[in-house]
Structure 1
Amino acid sequence: MTRILLHLGFHKCATSSAQAFLHENRERIWPTCALALPYRLRPIANKVFWYRFERDEAALADLHASMRAFIRDLNLTPNRNLILSSENLLGQMPLGTLDEPYPIAVPVVRALTSAFEAIAWPCELTVYFSTRAHDDWVRSVWGHQARKRRNVRITDDLETFRARLSKVSLHDQLARIRAALPDLHIVSEDIDALAGAPFGVAQPFVDFLRLPPAKLAEFTPPPRANQGPGLALAEQLIELNRSDLDPDALHAAKDALIGAHFGSAQELDDDEEEQVSR
Protein backbone atom coordinates (compact mmCIF):
# COMPACT_ATOMS: atom_id res chain seq x y z
CA MET A 1 0.00 0.00 0.00
CA THR A 2 1.18 3.51 -0.84
CA ARG A 3 0.82 6.04 1.96
CA ILE A 4 0.30 9.64 0.82
CA LEU A 5 0.70 12.85 2.82
CA LEU A 6 -0.82 15.90 1.12
CA HIS A 7 0.27 19.09 2.91
CA LEU A 8 -1.88 22.06 1.87
CA GLY A 9 -0.70 24.83 4.17
CA PHE A 10 -1.89 27.01 5.60
CA HIS A 11 0.15 29.95 4.30
CA LYS A 12 2.55 31.45 6.85
CA CYS A 13 2.40 28.36 9.06
CA ALA A 14 6.05 27.32 8.66
CA THR A 15 5.35 25.78 5.27
CA SER A 16 8.57 27.13 3.72
CA SER A 17 10.65 25.74 6.59
CA ALA A 18 9.06 22.31 6.26
CA GLN A 19 9.54 22.33 2.49
CA ALA A 20 13.17 23.41 2.86
CA PHE A 21 13.70 20.48 5.24
CA LEU A 22 12.21 18.03 2.75
CA HIS A 23 14.31 19.44 -0.08
CA GLU A 24 17.52 19.45 1.94
CA ASN A 25 17.00 15.81 2.94
CA ARG A 26 15.57 14.63 -0.38
CA GLU A 27 18.35 12.12 -1.09
CA ARG A 28 17.65 10.41 2.24
CA ILE A 29 13.90 10.45 1.61
CA TRP A 30 13.69 9.38 -2.04
CA PRO A 31 14.51 5.65 -1.62
CA THR A 32 11.23 5.07 0.20
CA CYS A 33 9.15 8.17 -0.53
CA ALA A 34 8.60 10.35 -3.59
CA LEU A 35 8.49 14.13 -3.09
CA ALA A 36 6.50 16.84 -4.83
CA LEU A 37 7.31 20.32 -3.54
CA PRO A 38 6.07 23.79 -4.63
CA TYR A 39 8.23 24.23 -7.74
CA ARG A 40 7.17 20.86 -9.11
CA LEU A 41 3.53 21.50 -8.17
CA ARG A 42 3.43 25.00 -9.63
CA PRO A 43 1.44 23.99 -12.76
CA ILE A 44 -1.23 22.48 -10.50
CA ALA A 45 -1.24 25.58 -8.29
CA ASN A 46 -1.78 27.71 -11.40
CA LYS A 47 -4.87 25.61 -12.17
CA VAL A 48 -6.10 26.31 -8.64
CA PHE A 49 -5.54 30.05 -9.16
CA TRP A 50 -7.41 29.88 -12.45
CA TYR A 51 -10.35 28.13 -10.81
CA ARG A 52 -10.49 30.88 -8.21
CA PHE A 53 -11.00 33.43 -11.00
CA GLU A 54 -13.39 31.35 -13.12
CA ARG A 55 -15.39 29.51 -10.43
CA ASP A 56 -16.90 27.16 -13.01
CA GLU A 57 -17.09 23.40 -13.43
CA ALA A 58 -14.84 23.43 -16.49
CA ALA A 59 -11.95 24.99 -14.55
CA LEU A 60 -12.49 22.55 -11.68
CA ALA A 61 -12.52 19.59 -14.06
CA ASP A 62 -9.32 20.91 -15.65
CA LEU A 63 -7.70 21.05 -12.20
CA HIS A 64 -8.77 17.48 -11.45
CA ALA A 65 -7.51 16.19 -14.81
CA SER A 66 -4.17 17.97 -14.37
CA MET A 67 -3.71 16.49 -10.92
CA ARG A 68 -4.52 12.99 -12.21
CA ALA A 69 -1.96 13.40 -15.00
CA PHE A 70 0.63 14.66 -12.52
CA ILE A 71 0.09 11.63 -10.26
CA ARG A 72 0.25 9.18 -13.16
CA ASP A 73 3.64 10.61 -14.16
CA LEU A 74 5.18 10.03 -10.72
CA ASN A 75 7.57 7.15 -10.22
CA LEU A 76 5.40 5.29 -7.70
CA THR A 77 5.23 1.64 -6.74
CA PRO A 78 3.02 -0.10 -4.16
CA ASN A 79 5.93 0.00 -1.71
CA ARG A 80 6.88 3.66 -2.27
CA ASN A 81 5.13 6.45 -0.43
CA LEU A 82 4.49 10.06 -1.45
CA ILE A 83 4.67 13.49 0.17
CA LEU A 84 3.23 16.53 -1.60
CA SER A 85 3.54 19.99 -0.05
CA SER A 86 2.35 23.31 -1.46
CA GLU A 87 0.21 25.88 0.32
CA ASN A 88 -0.71 27.37 -3.04
CA LEU A 89 -2.77 24.26 -3.81
CA LEU A 90 -5.34 25.84 -1.49
CA GLY A 91 -5.39 29.13 -3.41
CA GLN A 92 -3.62 32.46 -3.04
CA MET A 93 -2.49 33.82 0.28
CA PRO A 94 -5.50 35.59 1.83
CA LEU A 95 -5.94 39.34 1.56
CA GLY A 96 -9.07 39.61 3.70
CA THR A 97 -11.14 40.84 0.77
CA LEU A 98 -13.45 37.80 0.71
CA ASP A 99 -15.91 36.22 3.14
CA GLU A 100 -13.39 33.61 4.33
CA PRO A 101 -9.64 33.17 3.96
CA TYR A 102 -9.85 30.22 1.55
CA PRO A 103 -13.24 30.40 -0.20
CA ILE A 104 -12.45 27.71 -2.78
CA ALA A 105 -10.86 25.27 -0.33
CA VAL A 106 -13.59 22.64 -0.27
CA PRO A 107 -14.07 22.08 -4.03
CA VAL A 108 -10.33 22.32 -4.62
CA VAL A 109 -9.44 19.79 -1.93
CA ARG A 110 -12.14 17.47 -3.25
CA ALA A 111 -10.79 17.77 -6.81
CA LEU A 112 -7.19 17.21 -5.72
CA THR A 113 -7.82 14.25 -3.44
CA SER A 114 -10.16 12.44 -5.81
CA ALA A 115 -7.36 12.52 -8.40
CA PHE A 116 -5.42 9.94 -6.38
CA GLU A 117 -7.83 7.38 -7.79
CA ALA A 118 -5.40 7.39 -10.73
CA ILE A 119 -3.13 5.13 -8.65
CA ALA A 120 -3.91 1.55 -9.59
CA TRP A 121 -3.33 -0.03 -6.16
CA PRO A 122 -4.59 0.66 -2.62
CA CYS A 123 -3.53 3.96 -1.08
CA GLU A 124 -3.88 5.59 2.32
CA LEU A 125 -4.29 9.36 1.99
CA THR A 126 -3.76 11.86 4.80
CA VAL A 127 -4.40 15.58 4.28
CA TYR A 128 -2.25 17.67 6.61
CA PHE A 129 -2.73 21.31 7.62
CA SER A 130 -0.16 23.20 9.67
CA THR A 131 -1.81 25.93 11.75
CA ARG A 132 -0.98 28.60 14.31
CA ALA A 133 -2.76 31.02 16.64
CA HIS A 134 -5.07 33.20 14.56
CA ASP A 135 -3.67 36.59 15.64
CA ASP A 136 -0.09 35.47 14.97
CA TRP A 137 -1.18 34.14 11.59
CA VAL A 138 -2.87 37.42 10.63
CA ARG A 139 0.21 39.37 11.65
CA SER A 140 2.44 37.13 9.53
CA VAL A 141 0.15 37.26 6.48
CA TRP A 142 -0.05 41.06 6.75
CA GLY A 143 3.73 41.37 6.94
CA HIS A 144 4.21 39.10 3.94
CA GLN A 145 1.63 40.94 1.84
CA ALA A 146 3.26 44.25 2.78
CA ARG A 147 6.62 42.90 1.57
CA LYS A 148 5.42 41.83 -1.88
CA ARG A 149 6.99 43.82 -4.68
CA ARG A 150 4.42 43.39 -7.42
CA ASN A 151 0.71 42.72 -8.03
CA VAL A 152 -0.28 43.20 -4.38
CA ARG A 153 -0.07 46.69 -2.87
CA ILE A 154 -1.91 46.62 0.45
CA THR A 155 -2.20 49.87 2.37
CA ASP A 156 -4.06 48.70 5.50
CA ASP A 157 -2.47 49.04 8.91
CA LEU A 158 -2.33 45.84 10.95
CA GLU A 159 -5.53 46.36 12.90
CA THR A 160 -7.56 47.19 9.79
CA PHE A 161 -6.16 44.11 8.07
CA ARG A 162 -6.86 42.00 11.15
CA ALA A 163 -10.51 43.05 11.19
CA ARG A 164 -10.90 42.12 7.53
CA LEU A 165 -9.15 38.76 7.85
CA SER A 166 -10.95 37.73 11.04
CA LYS A 167 -14.45 37.28 9.62
CA VAL A 168 -13.61 33.58 9.67
CA SER A 169 -10.64 32.52 11.80
CA LEU A 170 -8.00 30.14 10.54
CA HIS A 171 -9.28 27.42 12.87
CA ASP A 172 -12.87 27.99 11.78
CA GLN A 173 -11.71 27.69 8.18
CA LEU A 174 -10.17 24.32 8.97
CA ALA A 175 -13.36 23.24 10.75
CA ARG A 176 -15.39 24.13 7.65
CA ILE A 177 -13.09 22.02 5.47
CA ARG A 178 -13.36 19.06 7.85
CA ALA A 179 -17.15 19.34 8.04
CA ALA A 180 -17.56 19.51 4.26
CA LEU A 181 -15.21 16.58 3.60
CA PRO A 182 -15.97 14.05 6.36
CA ASP A 183 -14.66 11.09 4.37
CA LEU A 184 -11.13 12.49 4.20
CA HIS A 185 -8.51 11.74 6.84
CA ILE A 186 -7.56 15.31 7.78
CA VAL A 187 -4.97 16.04 10.47
CA SER A 188 -3.51 19.31 11.75
CA GLU A 189 -0.68 20.49 13.97
CA ASP A 190 -0.12 23.87 15.62
CA ILE A 191 3.41 24.92 14.70
CA ASP A 192 3.97 26.42 18.16
CA ALA A 193 3.20 23.04 19.73
CA LEU A 194 5.91 21.51 17.54
CA ALA A 195 8.63 23.81 18.86
CA GLY A 196 9.90 21.19 21.30
CA ALA A 197 9.77 18.26 18.86
CA PRO A 198 13.11 16.81 17.69
CA PHE A 199 12.56 18.10 14.14
CA GLY A 200 10.36 21.08 15.01
CA VAL A 201 7.85 21.99 12.32
CA ALA A 202 9.10 19.10 10.18
CA GLN A 203 8.16 16.50 12.80
CA PRO A 204 4.85 15.48 11.13
CA PHE A 205 6.79 14.65 7.96
CA VAL A 206 9.44 12.72 9.88
CA ASP A 207 6.72 10.74 11.66
CA PHE A 208 5.12 9.96 8.30
CA LEU A 209 8.39 8.62 6.89
CA ARG A 210 8.75 5.97 9.64
CA LEU A 211 12.51 5.73 9.20
CA PRO A 212 14.81 4.06 11.74
CA PRO A 213 16.64 6.29 14.25
CA ALA A 214 20.00 5.64 12.58
CA LYS A 215 18.69 7.02 9.30
CA LEU A 216 17.03 10.01 10.98
CA ALA A 217 20.34 10.85 12.63
CA GLU A 218 21.64 11.73 9.15
CA PHE A 219 18.91 14.33 8.56
CA THR A 220 19.58 18.07 8.50
CA PRO A 221 17.18 19.94 10.84
CA PRO A 222 14.69 22.38 9.31
CA PRO A 223 15.90 25.95 8.74
CA ARG A 224 13.86 29.03 9.47
CA ALA A 225 12.83 29.91 5.92
CA ASN A 226 10.93 32.83 4.36
CA GLN A 227 11.26 34.94 7.50
CA GLY A 228 8.74 37.76 7.61
CA PRO A 229 9.43 41.41 8.42
CA GLY A 230 9.10 42.70 11.96
CA LEU A 231 6.35 45.16 12.84
CA ALA A 232 8.46 48.29 12.28
CA LEU A 233 9.72 47.11 8.89
CA ALA A 234 6.23 46.03 7.80
CA GLU A 235 4.88 49.49 8.69
CA GLN A 236 7.61 51.10 6.57
CA LEU A 237 6.69 48.81 3.66
CA ILE A 238 3.04 49.81 4.03
CA GLU A 239 4.09 53.47 3.85
CA LEU A 240 5.87 52.71 0.58
CA ASN A 241 2.70 51.06 -0.72
CA ARG A 242 0.78 54.24 0.12
CA SER A 243 3.22 56.38 -1.86
CA ASP A 244 2.85 57.45 -5.48
CA LEU A 245 5.89 55.42 -6.58
CA ASP A 246 5.44 53.59 -9.88
CA PRO A 247 5.78 49.77 -9.77
CA ASP A 248 9.45 49.69 -10.73
CA ALA A 249 10.39 52.40 -8.25
CA LEU A 250 8.35 50.68 -5.53
CA HIS A 251 10.13 47.40 -6.25
CA ALA A 252 13.53 49.09 -5.94
CA ALA A 253 12.57 50.94 -2.76
CA LYS A 254 11.35 47.74 -1.11
CA ASP A 255 14.51 45.88 -2.13
CA ALA A 256 16.64 48.62 -0.60
CA LEU A 257 14.62 48.70 2.63
CA ILE A 258 14.54 44.92 3.02
CA GLY A 259 18.22 44.65 2.11
CA ALA A 260 19.15 47.22 4.75
CA HIS A 261 17.18 45.26 7.34
CA PHE A 262 18.19 41.68 6.51
CA GLY A 263 21.54 42.31 4.84
CA SER A 264 20.20 41.37 1.40
CA ALA A 265 16.90 41.56 -0.43
CA GLN A 266 15.05 38.34 0.38
CA GLU A 267 13.53 36.25 -2.34
CA LEU A 268 9.77 35.93 -2.20
CA ASP A 269 7.75 32.85 -3.02
CA ASP A 270 6.72 34.10 -6.44
CA ASP A 271 4.34 31.18 -7.04
CA GLU A 272 2.16 33.28 -4.79
CA GLU A 273 2.18 36.34 -6.93
CA GLU A 274 -0.62 35.25 -9.17
CA GLN A 275 1.35 33.88 -12.11
CA VAL A 276 -1.80 32.36 -13.57
CA SER A 277 -1.63 30.20 -16.67
CA ARG A 278 -4.32 28.10 -18.18
Structure 2
Amino acid sequence: MPRRIILHAGFHKTGTSSLQATLRENRVALKKQVALRLRWHLKDVVAAARGYSTDKDPLTLIKVQTRFGEMVNAIPGMPRRTLIISAEELSGHMPGRGALADYSAAPVLLYAYWEILRNAYPEAEILIYLTTRAPEAWLASAYWEHVKSSGMTLNYDVFEHTYAYGANLDAMVAEIATRVPAEVVAQPLEACVDLPLGPADPLLDRCDIPLSLRPSLVAVPPANRRHPQDVLNAMLDANRTHTDIGARNAAKKAILKEAGLDQ
Protein backbone atom coordinates (compact mmCIF):
# COMPACT_ATOMS: atom_id res chain seq x y z
CA MET A 1 0.00 0.00 0.00
CA PRO A 2 1.39 3.46 -0.82
CA ARG A 3 2.01 5.75 2.11
CA ARG A 4 0.91 8.79 0.14
CA ILE A 5 -1.00 9.34 -3.11
CA ILE A 6 -0.59 12.55 -5.10
CA LEU A 7 -3.27 13.04 -7.72
CA HIS A 8 -2.09 15.69 -10.17
CA ALA A 9 -5.11 16.40 -12.34
CA GLY A 10 -4.26 19.59 -14.20
CA PHE A 11 -4.66 22.13 -15.24
CA HIS A 12 -3.74 22.27 -18.94
CA LYS A 13 -1.01 24.71 -20.03
CA THR A 14 0.49 24.97 -16.54
CA GLY A 15 3.75 23.08 -17.10
CA THR A 16 2.14 19.64 -16.93
CA SER A 17 3.98 18.21 -19.95
CA SER A 18 7.34 19.34 -18.56
CA LEU A 19 6.48 17.97 -15.12
CA GLN A 20 5.51 14.58 -16.54
CA ALA A 21 8.56 14.44 -18.82
CA THR A 22 10.81 15.11 -15.82
CA LEU A 23 9.18 12.37 -13.79
CA ARG A 24 9.49 9.93 -16.66
CA GLU A 25 13.14 10.80 -17.31
CA ASN A 26 13.98 10.19 -13.64
CA ARG A 27 11.71 7.19 -13.01
CA VAL A 28 14.61 4.77 -12.45
CA ALA A 29 16.36 7.07 -9.98
CA LEU A 30 13.08 7.65 -8.13
CA LYS A 31 11.77 4.09 -8.12
CA LYS A 32 12.54 3.42 -4.44
CA GLN A 33 10.50 6.44 -3.35
CA VAL A 34 7.94 6.97 -6.13
CA ALA A 35 5.57 4.92 -8.29
CA LEU A 36 4.23 6.65 -11.38
CA ARG A 37 1.03 6.50 -13.35
CA LEU A 38 1.29 9.18 -16.01
CA ARG A 39 -0.96 10.27 -18.85
CA TRP A 40 0.27 7.51 -21.19
CA HIS A 41 -0.79 4.95 -18.56
CA LEU A 42 -4.27 6.51 -18.32
CA LYS A 43 -5.51 6.70 -21.91
CA ASP A 44 -8.84 4.96 -21.26
CA VAL A 45 -9.50 6.98 -18.11
CA VAL A 46 -8.79 10.37 -19.66
CA ALA A 47 -10.83 9.55 -22.77
CA ALA A 48 -13.83 9.00 -20.53
CA ALA A 49 -13.03 12.09 -18.42
CA ARG A 50 -12.89 14.24 -21.53
CA GLY A 51 -16.24 12.84 -22.58
CA TYR A 52 -17.79 13.60 -19.20
CA SER A 53 -16.51 17.18 -19.27
CA THR A 54 -18.44 17.84 -22.46
CA ASP A 55 -21.68 15.90 -21.90
CA LYS A 56 -22.00 15.69 -18.07
CA ASP A 57 -23.82 12.41 -18.64
CA PRO A 58 -24.08 10.24 -15.49
CA LEU A 59 -23.42 7.16 -17.62
CA THR A 60 -20.16 8.69 -18.82
CA LEU A 61 -19.20 9.38 -15.20
CA ILE A 62 -19.79 5.70 -14.42
CA LYS A 63 -17.44 4.86 -17.28
CA VAL A 64 -14.82 7.18 -15.73
CA GLN A 65 -15.23 5.51 -12.34
CA THR A 66 -15.03 2.02 -13.82
CA ARG A 67 -11.89 2.72 -15.80
CA PHE A 68 -10.15 4.57 -12.97
CA GLY A 69 -11.05 1.76 -10.57
CA GLU A 70 -9.62 -0.83 -12.95
CA MET A 71 -6.41 1.17 -13.21
CA VAL A 72 -6.11 1.41 -9.43
CA ASN A 73 -6.84 -2.29 -8.93
CA ALA A 74 -4.06 -3.19 -11.37
CA ILE A 75 -1.40 -1.29 -9.43
CA PRO A 76 0.98 -3.69 -7.63
CA GLY A 77 1.97 -3.26 -3.99
CA MET A 78 4.26 -0.31 -3.25
CA PRO A 79 4.94 -0.20 0.49
CA ARG A 80 6.26 3.10 1.85
CA ARG A 81 6.34 4.73 -1.58
CA THR A 82 4.44 7.73 -2.92
CA LEU A 83 2.08 7.04 -5.80
CA ILE A 84 1.90 9.90 -8.29
CA ILE A 85 -1.00 9.89 -10.74
CA SER A 86 -0.53 12.72 -13.23
CA ALA A 87 -2.58 13.70 -16.27
CA GLU A 88 -4.14 17.08 -16.94
CA GLU A 89 -6.98 15.41 -18.85
CA LEU A 90 -8.18 13.85 -15.60
CA SER A 91 -10.00 17.19 -15.22
CA GLY A 92 -11.57 16.82 -18.67
CA HIS A 93 -11.00 18.76 -21.88
CA MET A 94 -9.28 22.12 -21.82
CA PRO A 95 -11.81 24.99 -21.86
CA GLY A 96 -12.17 26.62 -25.24
CA ARG A 97 -13.21 23.43 -26.99
CA GLY A 98 -16.56 24.36 -28.53
CA ALA A 99 -19.10 25.14 -25.85
CA LEU A 100 -16.85 23.96 -23.01
CA ALA A 101 -16.23 27.20 -21.13
CA ASP A 102 -14.58 26.09 -17.88
CA TYR A 103 -13.41 23.24 -15.64
CA SER A 104 -16.80 22.75 -13.99
CA ALA A 105 -16.51 18.97 -14.44
CA ALA A 106 -13.29 18.84 -12.43
CA PRO A 107 -14.79 18.80 -8.89
CA VAL A 108 -17.08 15.90 -9.81
CA LEU A 109 -14.28 13.96 -11.47
CA LEU A 110 -11.82 14.57 -8.65
CA TYR A 111 -14.35 13.49 -6.05
CA ALA A 112 -14.84 10.25 -7.99
CA TYR A 113 -11.08 9.59 -8.12
CA TRP A 114 -10.65 10.45 -4.45
CA GLU A 115 -13.45 8.09 -3.42
CA ILE A 116 -11.98 5.20 -5.39
CA LEU A 117 -8.49 5.81 -4.00
CA ARG A 118 -9.79 6.14 -0.44
CA ASN A 119 -11.63 2.80 -0.72
CA ALA A 120 -8.62 1.08 -2.25
CA TYR A 121 -6.05 2.57 0.15
CA PRO A 122 -7.89 3.61 3.32
CA GLU A 123 -4.70 4.29 5.29
CA ALA A 124 -2.89 6.32 2.63
CA GLU A 125 -2.68 10.11 2.67
CA ILE A 126 -4.38 11.46 -0.48
CA LEU A 127 -3.34 14.83 -1.87
CA ILE A 128 -5.00 16.66 -4.76
CA TYR A 129 -2.21 18.59 -6.50
CA LEU A 130 -3.15 21.25 -9.06
CA THR A 131 -0.77 23.32 -11.15
CA THR A 132 -2.03 26.80 -12.04
CA ARG A 133 -1.11 29.88 -14.04
CA ALA A 134 -2.06 33.55 -14.13
CA PRO A 135 -5.26 34.10 -16.13
CA GLU A 136 -3.76 36.30 -18.87
CA ALA A 137 -0.87 33.92 -19.56
CA TRP A 138 -3.16 30.89 -19.40
CA LEU A 139 -5.64 32.36 -21.89
CA ALA A 140 -2.92 33.14 -24.42
CA SER A 141 -1.36 29.70 -24.06
CA ALA A 142 -4.72 27.93 -24.29
CA TYR A 143 -5.75 29.93 -27.35
CA TRP A 144 -2.64 29.10 -29.35
CA GLU A 145 -2.81 25.47 -28.27
CA HIS A 146 -6.31 25.30 -29.70
CA VAL A 147 -5.11 26.98 -32.89
CA LYS A 148 -2.33 24.41 -33.19
CA SER A 149 -4.28 21.28 -32.33
CA SER A 150 -7.84 22.01 -33.50
CA GLY A 151 -9.77 24.05 -36.03
CA MET A 152 -9.89 27.22 -33.88
CA THR A 153 -10.73 30.26 -36.02
CA LEU A 154 -11.71 32.87 -33.41
CA ASN A 155 -9.71 36.04 -33.01
CA TYR A 156 -7.81 36.09 -29.73
CA ASP A 157 -9.85 38.96 -28.28
CA VAL A 158 -13.07 37.01 -28.87
CA PHE A 159 -11.56 33.89 -27.30
CA GLU A 160 -10.31 35.91 -24.33
CA HIS A 161 -13.73 37.41 -23.70
CA THR A 162 -15.59 34.13 -24.19
CA TYR A 163 -13.41 31.98 -21.96
CA ALA A 164 -12.23 34.48 -19.33
CA TYR A 165 -14.19 32.74 -16.57
CA GLY A 166 -12.48 29.42 -17.27
CA ALA A 167 -9.07 31.07 -16.89
CA ASN A 168 -9.66 31.76 -13.18
CA LEU A 169 -7.86 28.61 -12.07
CA ASP A 170 -7.49 29.80 -8.48
CA ALA A 171 -11.27 30.00 -8.16
CA MET A 172 -11.58 26.44 -9.46
CA VAL A 173 -8.96 25.26 -6.97
CA ALA A 174 -11.01 26.83 -4.18
CA GLU A 175 -14.18 25.15 -5.43
CA ILE A 176 -12.47 21.77 -5.62
CA ALA A 177 -11.21 22.24 -2.06
CA THR A 178 -14.79 22.71 -0.85
CA ARG A 179 -16.11 19.66 -2.67
CA VAL A 180 -13.38 17.02 -2.30
CA PRO A 181 -12.57 15.93 1.27
CA ALA A 182 -8.82 15.78 0.73
CA GLU A 183 -5.96 18.22 1.05
CA VAL A 184 -5.87 20.37 -2.09
CA VAL A 185 -2.63 22.13 -3.03
CA ALA A 186 -2.13 24.63 -5.86
CA GLN A 187 1.27 25.35 -7.39
CA PRO A 188 1.59 28.38 -9.70
CA LEU A 189 3.74 27.83 -12.78
CA GLU A 190 5.24 31.28 -12.34
CA ALA A 191 6.85 30.17 -9.05
CA CYS A 192 8.69 27.31 -10.79
CA VAL A 193 10.62 29.21 -13.45
CA ASP A 194 13.98 29.23 -11.66
CA LEU A 195 13.77 25.83 -9.97
CA PRO A 196 16.31 23.16 -11.04
CA LEU A 197 13.61 20.74 -12.21
CA GLY A 198 11.01 23.36 -13.05
CA PRO A 199 7.42 22.45 -12.14
CA ALA A 200 8.46 18.97 -11.03
CA ASP A 201 10.43 20.29 -8.04
CA PRO A 202 7.49 21.32 -5.77
CA LEU A 203 5.79 18.01 -6.47
CA LEU A 204 8.90 16.02 -5.58
CA ASP A 205 9.20 18.06 -2.38
CA ARG A 206 6.13 16.13 -1.21
CA CYS A 207 7.60 12.71 -1.95
CA ASP A 208 10.26 12.40 0.76
CA ILE A 209 13.09 12.26 -1.77
CA PRO A 210 16.45 11.99 0.06
CA LEU A 211 18.45 15.20 -0.16
CA SER A 212 21.42 13.19 -1.37
CA LEU A 213 19.41 12.05 -4.40
CA ARG A 214 18.11 15.41 -5.56
CA PRO A 215 21.35 16.65 -7.23
CA SER A 216 21.45 13.51 -9.40
CA LEU A 217 18.00 14.06 -10.87
CA VAL A 218 18.06 15.15 -14.50
CA ALA A 219 16.35 18.27 -15.79
CA VAL A 220 14.67 18.03 -19.19
CA PRO A 221 13.99 20.82 -21.71
CA PRO A 222 10.55 22.44 -21.38
CA ALA A 223 7.97 20.31 -23.19
CA ASN A 224 5.15 21.39 -25.51
CA ARG A 225 6.45 24.93 -25.84
CA ARG A 226 4.58 27.43 -27.94
CA HIS A 227 5.64 27.65 -31.58
CA PRO A 228 7.04 30.92 -32.97
CA GLN A 229 4.33 33.49 -33.60
CA ASP A 230 4.68 33.44 -37.38
CA VAL A 231 4.10 29.69 -37.39
CA LEU A 232 1.03 30.04 -35.17
CA ASN A 233 -0.35 32.82 -37.36
CA ALA A 234 0.07 30.58 -40.39
CA MET A 235 -1.78 27.79 -38.59
CA LEU A 236 -4.63 30.15 -37.74
CA ASP A 237 -4.83 31.12 -41.40
CA ALA A 238 -4.90 27.41 -42.33
CA ASN A 239 -7.80 26.86 -39.90
CA ARG A 240 -9.72 29.67 -41.56
CA THR A 241 -8.89 28.52 -45.09
CA HIS A 242 -9.55 24.77 -44.88
CA THR A 243 -12.90 23.42 -43.70
CA ASP A 244 -11.88 19.86 -44.53
CA ILE A 245 -10.01 18.32 -41.59
CA GLY A 246 -7.64 16.34 -43.80
CA ALA A 247 -6.70 19.39 -45.87
CA ARG A 248 -6.30 21.50 -42.75
CA ASN A 249 -4.02 18.98 -41.07
CA ALA A 250 -1.95 18.61 -44.24
CA ALA A 251 -1.54 22.38 -44.43
CA LYS A 252 -0.41 22.54 -40.80
CA LYS A 253 2.02 19.69 -41.33
CA ALA A 254 3.53 21.58 -44.26
CA ILE A 255 3.83 24.74 -42.13
CA LEU A 256 5.71 22.83 -39.43
CA LYS A 257 7.97 21.16 -41.98
CA GLU A 258 8.87 24.47 -43.57
CA ALA A 259 9.70 25.89 -40.14
CA GLY A 260 11.80 22.84 -39.24
CA LEU A 261 9.42 21.91 -36.41
CA ASP A 262 8.09 18.61 -37.79
CA GLN A 263 10.23 16.35 -35.60
User: So what's the TM-score if we normalise by structure 1?
Assistant: 0.87
CA contact (8 A) 1:154 1:238 kept: yes
Q: How much has 1:93 moved relative to structure 2?
A: 1.6
1:157-172 map, 5 Å? 157-168=155-166, 169-172=168-171
- Report the counterpart of residue 8 of structure 1 in structure 2: 9
- Alignment correspondent of 2:173: 174
In 2, Cα distance between the equivalents of 1:106 and 1:255? Answer: 37
Of 240, 245, 248 in structure 1, the residue corresponding to residue 246 of structure 2 is: 248
Cα offset for 1:264?
2.7
Shift of 1:227: 1.0
Residue by residue over 1:218-246, the C-alpha shift from the partner in whole angstroms, topping out at 9 and shown as x without a partner, is: 21113210112243332221111111353
State the Cα distance separating 1:212 from its structure 2 match.
Answer: 1.8
Query: Using the alignment, how far apart are the partners of 2:54 and 2:96 within structure 1?
Result: 15
> Aligned partners of 2:124, 2:160: CA distance in 1, in Å?
40
Alignment check: 8 A CA contact 1:199 1:206 kept: no
Given the superposition, is the C-alpha separation of residues 65 and 79 from structure 1 closer, same or farther in structure 2, using an over 3 Å criterion? same
- Following the alignment from structure 1 to structure 2, what is the Cα–Cα distance between the partners of residues 96 and 58? 21
Hey, what does 1:196 align to over in structure 2? Answer: 194
Change (3 A) 1:99 1:179: farther
Percentage of pairs with the same residue = 27
Shift of 1:120: 4.5
Number of positions where the alignment pairs a residue of Structure 1 with one of Structure 2: 261
Which residue pairs with 1:140 in the alignment?
141
In the alignment, what sits opposite 1:48?
A: 49
2:38 is aligned with what amino acid?
A: L
Mark the CA change 1:5 to 1:179 in structure 2 (over 3 Å): closer, same or farther. Answer: same
- The one-letter code of the counterpart of 2:202 is P
Residues 126 and 186, structure 1, Cα contact 8 Å, conserved in 2: yes
Cα drift, residue 110 of structure 1: 0.7
Indicate if the aligned counterparts of 1:145 and 1:154 stay in contact, CA closer than 8 A.
Answer: yes
Q: CA deviation at 1:253?
A: 1.3
2:37 is matched with 36
The answer on whether the counterparts of 1:13 and 1:137 sit within 8 Å (CA) in structure 2 is yes
Give yes or no for the alignment of 1:226 onto 2:224: yes
State the shift of 1:121 in Å: 4.9
| Cα distance in 2 for residues equivalent to 1:118 and 1:61 | 16
Provide, for residues 105-158 of structure 1, a one-character-per-residue CA deviation record: whole Å limited to 9, x for no partner: 11111111111034345100111111111111111111111111xxx3110111
Cross-structure match for 1:58: 59
Please tell me whether the aligned partners of residues 9 and 128 of structure 2 are also in contact (alpha carbons under 8 angstroms).
yes
SS in structure 2 opposite 1:61?
helix
Distance in 1 between the 2:48 and 2:4 partners? Answer: 25
CA contact (8 A) 1:5 1:128 kept: yes
Q: Output the CA distance in 1 between the equivalents of 2:217 and 2:257.
A: 31
Aligned CA RMSD, in angstroms, stands at 1.9
User: What is the rounded CA distance, in whole Å, between the counterparts of 2:6 and 2:44 in structure 1?
Assistant: 19
Alpha-carbon contact 2:16-2:131 (below 8 Å) kept: yes
1:3 offset after TM fit, Å?
0.5
Corresponding position of 1:265: 262
Secondary structure (helix, strand or coil) at the match of 1:66 reads: helix
**Can you give the 5+ residue segments of structure 2 that lack an aligned partner in the other structure?**
none
Unaligned runs of 5+ in 1: 267-278
Alignment of 1:14-33 (within 5 A): 14-33=15-34
Distance 2:64 2:126 in 1: 19
Is 1:214 the counterpart of 2:212? The answer is yes
Name the CA distance, whole Å, in 1 between partners of 2:49 and 2:97: 18
TM-score (norm 2): 0.91
Please say if 1:153 is aligned against 2:154.
no
| CA distance in structure 1 between the partners assigned to 2:182 and 2:101 by the alignment | 21
Rate the CA distance shift 1:180–1:231 in 2: closer, same or farther, 3 A.
farther
- The answer on whether the counterparts of 1:78 and 1:121 sit within 8 Å (CA) in structure 2 is no
- Cα 1:244/1:96, change in 2 over 3 Å: closer
CA contact (8 A) 2:33 2:209 kept: no
188-197 or 126-135, which deviates more: 188-197
